[in-house]
Amino acid sequence: MKGYLELSPAVKAALMSGEPVVALESTIISHGMPYPQSVETALRVEETVREAGAVPATIAVIGGKLKAGLTNDEIEYLGNKGPAVIKASRRDLPVLVARGADGATTVATTMIIAHLAGIRVFATGGIGGVHRGAETTMDISADLEELGRTPVMVVCAGAKAILDLGLTLEYLETKGVPVIGYGTEELPAFYTRKSGFKVDYRIDTPEELAAAFRAQQEMGLGGGMLVTNPIPEEYSMDPVRINAAIDQAIEDSRRLGIHGKETTPYLLARVKELTGGDSLASNIQLVLNNARLAAHTARALME
């Protein structure tokens, strides 16, 4: 992997000395939020990880290199380039590397590169999942497949609320992925703390999260673990309001014929527009909250 994988000096030193490291995705920089809030948020997330006692490793493909740990200039580059950067999933990696191209990593690709680098914990906003209407479109995120095969713990605020949450949980069960609720028995719904669906297990401390993940890996069960961390109460949105915005956004996307990898960025942007920017503010806070928990859990894994 020496010809493909490139670790930043800080990430390389942390891994060699046994310090906790937290992987962070880059699609949120180029596709998930508007510029310049995207760059500001990415830097705040990195600082939040540091303040919680771990080393951040924002992951991307730049110039054909699988990079774990970006400079501030590289983060600025991805944010400024925005959607012109390819939204890179597993299928895109061979061509991007061969062409020496850039790619902003999804949850799936961030998991792959984190695992190659030896990073075991990854914080993001929300995972992809089974899209509404998937019984006819077969639109199912590669994130779920990656969780079933790659041994990385993913800390998120649940699956994105634009998805079919019930079917997403069913798919994860089929793949053997433990879905953990941090301090809750109910699956968070990204912008809100509750969805009406139950998680597999409730865990209340980073130490117990670390113990469960360590046991999973030591038993050779394979695959990852999904930790769903509810958005803080003060930033949770009104369920009626946010669900109305999501329904409208989905209706608009169907009318416009938007599908595939363009669906999620469009829906998130449209929901932001329909909520007057409130959904973006909530999105930022839940990512910071997940980064803190991931850092504490990565520290516990080192003990």
Instruction: From first to last of the 303 residues of the chain, give the pLDDT tens digit.
Output: 568 999 999 999 999 999 999 999 999 999 988 899 999 999 999 999 999 999 999 999 999 999 999 999 999 999 999 999 999 999 999 999 999 999 999 999 999 999 999 999 999 999 988 977 767 767 788 999 999 999 999 999 998 777 889 999 999 999 999 999 999 999 998 889 989 999 999 999 999 999 999 999 999 999 999 999 999 999 998 888 888 888 888 888 888 888 776 777 787 788 778 887 778 888 899 999 999 999 999 999 998
Domain count, the chain: 1
Other CB atoms within 10 Å distance of the CB of residue 260: 9
Nearest to 213 by CA among 289, 120, 122: 120
Predicted TM-score (pTM) of this structure: 0.92
Buried b vs exposed e over 126-156: b needs ≥16 C-beta within 10 Å? bbbbbbbebeeeebbbbbbebbbbbbbbbbb
Q: Clarify whether 173 is annotated catalytic.
A: no
Q: Which of 67, 87, 160, 261 is catalytic?
A: 160
Contact 128, 32 (CB under 8 A): no
Q: Which of 6, 25, 76, 146 is catalytic?
A: 25
Residue 111, domain CATH: 3.40.1790.10
Q: Clarify whether 25 is annotated catalytic.
A: yes
Which two structure tokens, joined as six digits, stand for 144? 């779920």
Domain range holding 195? 5-301
